[in-house]
Amino acid sequence: MKNKITVILVAGIAIIIIGLFWGNGAKNQAALPVQSQVALGSTLFALEKEYDFGIISMKDGKVQTSFVVSNKSENDIRIDTVVTSCMCTNAYVVNGEVRRGPFGMPGHGGVVPKANEIVKAGEEREIEVVFDPAAHGPAGVGVVERSIYLVDENGGALELKINAEVTS
């Protein structure tokens, strides 16, 4: 009888300790979905905000596309950060011959660098997006939707999306 009480007591303490660690992990913003970390709505503008790669094969390797983002306001805008919703997706900010990045998913494989890219009034930037269909291995087949967020100095974000149907 005494052994049963000891086992129950130890199990209860273990559950409490696990619960405490689990609760603290939930406070770590890097563990939260990217969507919950940014406020959509930025003064940055993109005529095309979504691109569909169609059916792509893992064996054919990475695919890429570009979006044109412009500042239609009268003030300069600083893109503070560029983040993606998944580790399989990287983004680059291209200004003429200068290509900065890669920018990826926060919390996976290190710190996502700050973009600190100034887009002057009336200027454009190209956002190059590279998607690796093999990043998730054989289980990564099917329809995928990924987002790229350009977060400006005011905390607003422009969301760009890519879609694909991945085959093996």
39-167: CATH topology is: Immunoglobulin-like (2.60.40)
Which H or E run includes 132?
A: none
Tens-digit pLDDT profile for residues 74-85: 999 999 999 999
Residue 107, pLDDT score: 79
Write the burial class of residue 44 (CB in 10 Å: 0-12 exposed, 13-18 middle, 19+ buried). Answer: buried
DSSP state of 112: P
Tens-digit pLDDT profile for residues 38-69: 455 678 999 999 999 999 999 999 999 999 99
Rounded alpha-carbon distances, angstroms, from residue 143 to 21, 38, 158, 163: 34, 25, 23, 7
In the structure, what pLDDT confidence band is assigned to residue 26 with cuts at 50, 70 and 90? very low
